[in-house]
Amino acid sequence: MFNLDGTKIEVSKGDWGIFTITFTGDDAPTDGTTVRVSLKKNPNNEDTIWEKDLLVSDSTVTVVLRTEDTNITPGGYYWDVRILYSDGYVCTPIEPSQFVVGKVVGNVE
């Protein structure tokens, strides 16, 4: 199960999920700009569980959550998106949002 409701993500442990983020407006990143998607247990933690650096193409990035990204302890986490412009400017268009990993009956190896 994978569900994206606004910025809240719900996914069953070990399941895949794919979604696209589209950037609009005057500050939209150009092709080739790096976008970092990160997951933490708590926004105040220093340690990330995972990060994905993606490149903008046609004003979008596609985020692919694979089994290794979601095969973590069920419970609540937080994710966000940051645009890393080449001049050093950083923008956070999606602030820390809920990322819920649900329990499952079968194991994923």
Backbone angles phi, psi at 27, to 5 degrees: -95, 10
User: How does pLDDT run across 63-104, given as a tens digit for each residue?
Assistant: 999 999 999 999 999 999 999 999 999 999 999 999 999 999
pLDDT band at 107 (very low <50, low <70, confident <90, very high): confident
pTM over 0.75: yes
Q: What is the pLDDT of residue 85?
A: 95
Q: What angle do CA 55, 89, 94 make, to 5 degrees?
A: 65
Distance between CA 36 and CA 38 in Å, rounded? 6
Distance between CA 86 and CA 6 in Å, rounded? 28
Burial 1-38 (b: 16+ CB within 10 A, else e): eeeeeebebebbbbbebeeebebeeeeebeeebebbbb
Residue 109 pLDDT > 80 = no
Structural domains present in the chain: 2-102 (2.60.40.10)
User: How does pLDDT run across 18-56, given as a tens digit for each residue?
Assistant: 999 999 988 799 999 999 999 999 999 899 999 999 999
Q: What integer is the mean pLDDT of 9-21? A: 97
